[in-house]
Amino acid sequence: MGKTILVSTKKHKYSIIIDFNLFNKPLSLSFLKKGDSVMIVTNKIIFSLYFKKIYNQFNNIGVRINHVLIPDGEKYKTLMTANIIFTALLQNLHNRDTTLIALGGGVIGDITGFVASSYQRGVKFIQIPTTLLAQVDSSVGGKTAVNHILGKNMIGSFYQPRIVLINLSCLDTLSKREFTAGLAEVIKYGIIFDKNFFSWLEHNIIKLFNLDKKTILYCIKKCCELKSKIIYEDEYEKNKRALLNLGHTYGHAIESELGYGKWLHGEAVSVGIVIASLTSKKLNLMNNKDVIRIINLLKKCNLPIQSPQNMNIKQYFKHIYRDKKINKNQINIVIPVKIGKVIIYKNIPEKIISDAINENKNLIF
């Protein structure tokens, strides 16, 4: 039942292995050999659920295994937490031949990849994502980062993993809130690239919530295929890959202003997608029918659609002007023009953005 997707860039090729009960099956890790060293990065919750099975997988290869636990949550995706991993690597005498293993959600994947990209100027790492959001998005493509108090993901690098191992059975232990937050990134793919996938989601959300095996496998495989295609075309986000940031300019502003972890990333992106859609409507690009379809699907997933009431326009702009897509002080935002197509709209007037945020605050649905 499992699937394998090949990710190709100019310099790297690696596989995404997607299956159920993956930790109970022999893993293909030919780049590791007896006597190598690995460092597993995880948190207390994931450690209690999956560490033993992962340990056994690598112990069977005959590698030396250490692990390090980091605090759980977006607010800990910092240079200070990265230093905990650096210290563990040095204390356990890991060298350039070591492999880091990110066992967890998006925070663990991002920070482990960042450490791997910089420890002794670069060591191998493996992504083992355990949340829906990480499985469909953050574990694939080599974006690594930590947050700064003034901006999300502002310190990072592009650094590809050696393999991505997606165990769909991990979703059985995921909280409803975390699963729902991951659906925002799933819906994002339909809006950006594939109107038929968006329609499929409209008709299959209940099956996804019920963790129907065929539905889950198709959904995650589809998202990974869509992202892999973009990475092949634009690994370093020079143009087309930036389209994957739909909803993120506004979403990151919410996360940064409220404090990392108050809203989950997918929750903030959901609102960001709505505001981006309203921005497009005010630019006379997106029709109201498509805007309503997007809002209805997000609502069907129990995702938030309205901006935090305690966040004002000035607070949004404070973070928007730090966004990575800002160029020469011009505001450039990814907006949908219809379901299945988005663009980067350059030099959006502040009034359009203000009006879109205000309309979002006063949405009645």
CATH, range 176-361 = 1.20.1090.10
Please state the domain extents for the chain. 3-173, 176-361
How are beta strands 13-19 and 163-167 bridged, if at all?
Answer: parallel
Structure confidence at residue 305 (pLDDT): 98
Mean pLDDT by 10 residues, the chain (365 residues): 91 95 91 95 98 94 96 96 98 97 98 98 98 97 95 95 98 97 98 98 97 98 97 93 96 95 96 98 97 98 96 95 81 97 96 97 84
pTM of the model: 0.95
Structure confidence at residue 320 (pLDDT): 94
How far separated are the first and last CA of the chain, in Å rounded? 40
Alpha-carbon gap, residue 348 to 341, rounded angstroms? 18
- Structure-block tokens of residue 306: 């309205």
Structure confidence at residue 295 (pLDDT): 98
Q: How large is the angle between the packed helices 195-209 and 213-233, nearest 10 degrees?
A: 140
Tokens 């699907």 map to which residue?
297
- Structure-block tokens of residue 218: 């198709």
Structure confidence at residue 27 (pLDDT): 86
Active-site annotation, residues: 121, 143, 185, 227, 237, 241, 245, 248, 252, 265
List CB contacts of 48: < 8 A, sequence separation 6 or more: none
List CB contacts of 288: < 8 A, sequence separation 6 or more: 281
Structure confidence at residue 364 (pLDDT): 80
The SS3 of residue 36 is coil
Provide the CATH topology of domain 3-173: Rossmann fold (3.40.50)
Closest among 80, 85, 135 to 113, alpha carbons compared: 85
Q: Which 8-state DSSP code applies to residue 131? A: S
Backbone φ and ψ of 159, nearest 5°? -155, 110
Contact 75, 85 (CB under 8 A): no
Structure confidence at residue 2 (pLDDT): 87
Alpha-carbon gap, residue 72 to 151, rounded angstroms? 19
Q: Which value, in Å, is the radius of gyration of the alpha carbons in the chain?
A: 20
Structure confidence at residue 325 (pLDDT): 76
Structure confidence at residue 271 (pLDDT): 98
Structure confidence at residue 163 (pLDDT): 97
